[in-house]
Amino acid sequence: MNPSLFDLSGKRALITGSSQGIGYALARGLAQAGAEIVLNGRNPEKLAAAGSQLRSEGFTVHELVFDVTDHEGVRSAVDDFEAATGPIDILVNNAGMQHRTPLEDFPADAFERLLQTNIASVFHVGQAVARHMIKRGEGKIVNICSVQTALARPGIAPYTATKGAVANLTKGMATDWAKYGLQCNGLAPGYFDTPLNAALVNDPEFSAWLAKRTPAGRWGKVEELVGACVFLSSMASSFVNGTTIFVDGGISASL
């Protein structure tokens, strides 16, 4: 095997929602593989803190503040960055949110926020970045899906709908953009110990259920997502397109 297949040196990666959690872990992992990193979030202070930490580890980091749900704002930020700094070679669409309420009581405004944050953002940022990638004839897009792309649990039906949509939008991206040299794929985490899952992590009953339900018998560690993300961001996946890789300890494979 040629290790250079996974080398991201000379590449620049934008990771949305990367001031904490999975996005931050993926940003660090791509940096460790050699990529220059563009962090994104809406909170300048949190973003600056994340950038400072990664720079202290010796990585080249940019911070790009924009709201992933704002179509014109996204396009302007991406276009300005490309003009001033250079190409975005890799996009990781990670920004997302969760809201837990039984479906019969689910607030309409929360449903709309989930649609905008979890699925519309993938369209907004994906299109803005892909327009530049298409001109160059190459690019990598990794859309963060979920184990809920394939499975449902009580209280999160709208979230499940958005993550199913992300996987299908990923297929659509590949179908439209593969001919231009882009590879567009999904990465679906199972249950990971992140700020988004803090309430579940701190619930002994749920953690016990998860350990029994997951063949690996535990919560995932965010660092365990890095290998799959590097693969999908590198030359190693040059003929992988429109697929979703589940990194979930086997939960989606087991009844």
Active site residue 191: no
- Distance between CA 184 and CA 204 in Å, rounded? 37
The DSSP string of the chain is: --GGGG--TT-EEEETT-SSHHHHHHHHHHHHTT-EEEEEES-HHHHHHHHHHHHHTT--EEEEE--TT-HHHHHHHHHHHHHHT----EEEE---------GGG--HHHHHHHIIIIIIHHHHHHHHHHHHHHHHT-EEEEEE--GGGT---TT-HHHHHHHHHHHHHHHHHHHHHGGGTEEEEEEEE-SB-SGGGHHHHT-HHHHHHHHHHSTT-SPBPGGGGHHHHHHHHSGGGTT--S-EEEESTTGGG--
Question: Pick the catalytic residue: 24, 159, 180, 191?
Answer: 159
Active site residues: 159
